[in-house]
Amino acid sequence: MAGLYARLDAERARMKGAYAAALRGHGGAPVERDVEVRALAAEVRRLRVADDGLCFGRLDTRSGDQHYIGRIGIFDAANEYEPLLLDWRAPAARPFYVATAANPEGMRRRRRFHPRGRQVVDFTDEVLGRPGAGERGDAALLAAVDAPRGDGMRDIVATVQAEQDEIIRLDHPGVLVIEGGPGTGKTVVALHRVAYLLYTRRERMERHGVLVVGPNPTFLDHISRVLPSLGESNVVFMTTGDLLPGLRVTAEDAPEAARLKGSLSILDVLAAAIADRRRLPDRSVPIRLAGVTVRLDPDIAAWGAEDALASGLPHNEARAVFAETLTWALTERAIVRIGRGWLTRDDRAAWERLRSELRRELAADDVFTATLDELWPLLTPQALLSSLYESPDRLRAAGADPALWRADGDAWTVSDVPLLDELVELLGRDEAADRAARQAAEQRRRAEAEYASGVLDTLVGRADSMDDEDHLYATDLLHGEDLADRFVERDGRELAERAAADRDWTYRHVVVDEAQELSEMDWRVLMRRCPDRSFTAVGDLAQRRSAAGATSWARMLEPYVPGRWLHRSLSVNYRTPAEIMTVAAALLAEFAPEARPPESVRACGVEPWARQVTEEELPAAVEEFVRDEAGRAGTSVVIGPPGMPGTMTAAETKGLEFDAVLIVEPAHILDHGPRGAAELYVALTRATQRLGILHLRPLPPVLARIGATRQPDRAAQARLV
Is 181 annotated to bind a ligand? Reply is: yes
Give the whole-angstrom CA distance, residue 111 versus residue 335.
91
Instruction: Give the end-to-end CA distance of the chain in Å, rounded to a whole number.
Output: 33
Is 250 annotated to bind a ligand? Reply is: no
List, as one string, the DSSP characters of 15-53. Answer: HHHHHHHHHHT-SS-HHHHHHHHHHHHHHHHHHHT-STT
- Beta strands in 317-408, from DSSP E residues, in sequence order: none
Is 134 annotated to bind a ligand? Reply is: no
Is 61 annotated to bind a ligand? Reply is: no
Is 536 annotated to bind a ligand? Reply is: no
* Nearest of 153, 151, 137 to residue 186 by alpha carbon: 153
Give the whole-angstrom CA distance, residue 107 versus residue 159.
17
Using DSSP bridges, classify how beta strands 83-87 and 74-75 pair: parallel, antiparallel or unpaired.
antiparallel
Is 492 annotated to bind a ligand? Reply is: no
Contacts of 349 (CB under 8 A, 6+ apart): none
Cα dihedral value 413, 153, 145, 669, nearest 10: -20
Give the whole-angstrom CA distance, residue 230 versus residue 71.
6
* Nearest of 577, 589, 605 to residue 702 by alpha carbon: 589
Give the whole-angstrom CA distance, residue 47 versus residue 16.
10
Give the whole-angstrom CA distance, residue 199 versus residue 549.
33
The 8-class DSSP code of residue 239 comes to -
Give the whole-angstrom CA distance, residue 270 versus residue 260.
12
- Beta strands in 257-337, from DSSP E residues, in sequence order: 285-289, 292-296
Contacts of 416 (CB under 8 A, 6+ apart): 249, 261, 385
Residue 318, classed as helix, strand or coil, is helix
Is 231 annotated to bind a ligand? Reply is: no
Is 327 annotated to bind a ligand? Reply is: no
Write phi, then psi, for 213 (nearest 5 degrees): -110, 125
**Which residues partner with 518 through β-bridges?**
none
Is residue 226 a contact partner of residue 191, using CB atoms and an 8 Å limit?
Answer: yes
Is residue 492 a contact partner of residue 498, using CB atoms and an 8 Å limit?
Answer: no
CA angle 638, 644, 646 (to 5 degrees): 45
* Nearest of 294, 309, 231, 314 to residue 53 by alpha carbon: 231
- Other CB atoms within 10 Å distance of the CB of residue 336: 13
Residue 656, classed as helix, strand or coil, is coil
Binding-site residue ranges for ATP: 180-187
Binding-site residue ranges: 180-187
